[in-house]
Amino acid sequence: MKEKSFNRPFVLDTSSLLAIEENKMDIFRELIFNFGDRYFLIPTAVINEIKNLAKNKGKRGVKAKIALSLIEANKERVVFISSFGKVDNVVLEVAKSNKGIVVTKDKALKNRALKSGLAVVVISRKKLILL
């Protein structure tokens, strides 16, 4: 990755990446457009969860495959963080340790992040809302 001065990173969870197909939005481009030039942290626990979902033949499998292809298309802005454990716990830990902003569509994760004092971007009805 090129040396640049980026703002606080976004930490993407599984729900934010699966929302790509559902909301017909390039989450990477939309976050940069709405909140400025940044890089993205994706825990390997999230990637593993999406890869497992991609094996499904239904809608979730399609969403997961689209998410993986968009991650690949934006790999110059993505930093993969080695992680193990429950995905939501990992997302919160990565956000805390990197002063990151959690990006999610998951209400429970949003509430946990806010209680922990973390900034959150919520995906709601094709909109991005910073809390």
3-class SS string, 8-69: CCEEECHHHHHHHHHHCCCHHHHHHHHHCCCCEEEEHHHHHHHHHHHCCCCHHHHHHHHHHH
Does this model's pTM top 0.75? My answer is yes
* The residue to which tokens 């599984």 are assigned: 14
- Enumerate the domain spans of the chain: 10-130
The pLDDT of residue 75 is 92
Strands laid side by side in the 78-81 sheet: 78-81, 40-43, 10-12, 101-104, 120-124, 127-130
Fold of 10-130: Rossmann fold (3.40.50)
For 3, the enclosing helix (H) or strand (E) is: none
- The tally of CA atoms less than 13 A away on the side-chain side of residue 52 is 7
| Pair of tokens at residue 58 | 């239904």
The pLDDT of residue 4 is 38
The pLDDT of residue 2 is 33
Cα 65 to chain centroid, rounded? 15
The pLDDT of residue 125 is 75
**pLDDT, one tens digit for every residue, the chain (131 residues):** 333 334 899 999 999 999 887 778 889 999 999 998 889 999 999 999 999 999 988 999 999 999 999 999 999 999 999 998 999 999 999 999 999 999 999 999 999 999 999 999 998 877 887 87
